[in-house]
Amino acid sequence: MLQLKNLYGGYGKITILNGVEFEIPKGTITTVIGPNGAGKSTVFKAIFGLLNVHSGQILLEGRDVTGRTPKQMIGEGVTYVPQGRNVVPQLSVYHNLELGGITARDQSAVRARIEKVMDQFPMLREFRDRKAIELSGGQQKQLEVARALLLDPKLILIDEPSIGLSPNLVAEVFRTLQALRDDGVTILMVEQNAKAALAMSDFGIVLELGQTRMHDRADALLADPRVGQLFLGGHMEEA
Ligand SMILES: Nc1ncnc2c1ncn2[C@@H]1O[C@H](COP(=O)(O)OP(=O)(O)OP(=O)(O)O)[C@@H](O)[C@H]1O
Q: Are residues 63 and 88 in the same domain?
A: no
Residue 38 lies in a domain: no
Note whether 56 and 221 are within 8 A (CB). Answer: no
Is pTM beyond 0.95? Reply is no
Q: Is the ipTM of this complex over 0.90?
A: yes
Atom of ligand 1 nearest to the CA of 190: 22
Nearest one of 165, 92, 149, 88 to 126, comparing CA atoms: 92
Residue 6 lies in a domain: yes
How many A from CA of 10 to the centre of ligand 1?
A: 9
How many A from CA of 209 to the centre of ligand 1?
A: 11
Residue 207 lies in a domain: yes
Give the number of other CB atoms < 10 A from CB of residue 133.
12
Domain that holds residue 117: 79-152
Atom 3 of ligand 1, nearest CA residue: 11
Query: Total domain count for the chain?
Result: 2
Residue from 41, 51, 162, 209 whose mutation best tests the ligand 1 pocket (most atoms within 8 A of CB): 41
Grouping H, G, I as helix, E, B as strand and the rest as coil, residue 222 is helix
Give the number of other CB atoms < 10 A from CB of residue 108.
8
Residue 224 lies in a domain: no
Question: Per residue of the chain (239 residues), what is the pLDDT tens digit?
Answer: 999 999 999 998 899 999 999 999 999 999 999 988 999 999 999 999 999 899 999 999 999 999 999 999 999 999 999 988 889 999 999 999 999 888 777 888 889 999 988 988 889 999 999 999 999 888 898 899 899 888 889 999 999 988 877 888 788 889 989 999 999 999 999 998 888 999 999 999 999 999 999 999 999 999 898 887 776 555 555 44
- Listed in sequence order, the DSSP H helices in 52-160 are 70-75, 93-100, 107-120, 122-126, 137-148
Say which residues have a Cβ less than 8 Å from residue 215's Cβ, sequence separation at least 6.
Answer: 22, 203, 204, 205, 206
Say which residues have a Cβ less than 8 Å from residue 146's Cβ, sequence separation at least 6.
Answer: 97, 100, 117, 118, 120, 121, 124
- Quote the radius of gyration of the chain (alpha carbons, Å): 18
Q: Are residues 111 and 55 in the same domain?
A: no
Write the pLDDT tens digit of every residue in 194-234.
889 999 999 999 999 999 999 999 999 998 988 877 765 55
Pocket of ligand 1 (CB under 6 A): 11, 14, 16, 34, 36-42, 192
For the chain, how far is it from start to end, CA to CA, in angstroms? 32
Atom 26 of ligand 1, nearest CA residue: 36
